[in-house]
């Protein structure tokens, strides 16, 4: 069994890994982000980053979580219909700044954590930089 297959087994999924765009992607089915973070901790994978994408026509957001395991970049996608997802800060200290940055840049709420003062700029309204509806003054968060 290859290391990636072992990971899939530990994550409890039978879906195959897809190697695409420089990373190995695994569809997670019903697994939530906290279960994933716990599993990654168990594998001693190194958290790399989260990339947020705003989907068109108010469809929500796509968050891509990345971990590194022995040089292999692992990718996991979560689709958000609204603008909140559970924080994994208490499970993975390394996500602190990127969760805060996404909160400020996209207005996504990582639930279950407190936010320090804003990372990127002064002010008290998250989401003015990248989230175009807020930037255009159409939406208040």
- Given candidates 20, 57, 138, 140, which one binds another protein under the rule CB under 8 A? 20
Of 14 and 21, the one with the shorter C-beta distance to another protein is 21
What are the helix (H) ranges across the chain?
Answer: 3-10, 33-42, 96-106, 132-135
Angstrom distance (rounded) from CA 19 to CA 60: 25
Angstrom distance (rounded) from CA 72 to CA 92: 19
Classified as helix, coil or strand, 110 is strand
Pick the closest to residue 29 from 104, 79, 89, 102 (CA basis).
79
Q: Which of residues 60-99 bind another protein (CB under 8 A)?
A: 64, 66, 68, 70-73, 75, 92-94, 96-98
User: Residue 64 CB, nearest distance to another protein (Å)?
Assistant: 7
Q: 34: which 2 tokens?
A: 């906290």
Q: Which stretch binds another protein (CB under 8 A): 1-9, 11-19, 21-29, 78-86?
A: 21-29
User: Residue 3 CB, nearest distance to another protein (Å)?
Assistant: 13
Q: Which parts of this chain interact with another protein (CB under 8 A)? A: 20-23, 44, 46-49, 51-53, 64, 66, 68, 70-73, 75, 92-94, 96-98, 116-121, 129-130
């Amino acid at each position: 069994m290859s290391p990636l297959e072992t990971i899939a087994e530990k994550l409890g999924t039978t879906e195959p890994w897809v190697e695409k765009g420089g990373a190995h992607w695994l569809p997670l089915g019903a697994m939530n982000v906290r279960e994933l973070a716990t599993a990654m901790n168990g594998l001693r994978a190194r958290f790399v980053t989260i990339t947020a994408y705003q989907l068109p026509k108010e469809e929500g957001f796509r968050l891509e979580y990345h971990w590194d395991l022995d040089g292999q970049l692992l990718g996991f996608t979560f689709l958000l219909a609204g603008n909140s997802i559970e924080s994994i800060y208490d499970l993975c200290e390394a996500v602190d700044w990127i969760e805060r940055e996404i909160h400020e840049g996209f207005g996504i709420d990582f639930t279950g954590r407190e936010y320090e003062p804003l990372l990127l700029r002064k002010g008290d309204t998250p989401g003015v930089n990248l989230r175009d509806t807020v930037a255009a003054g159409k939406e208040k968060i």
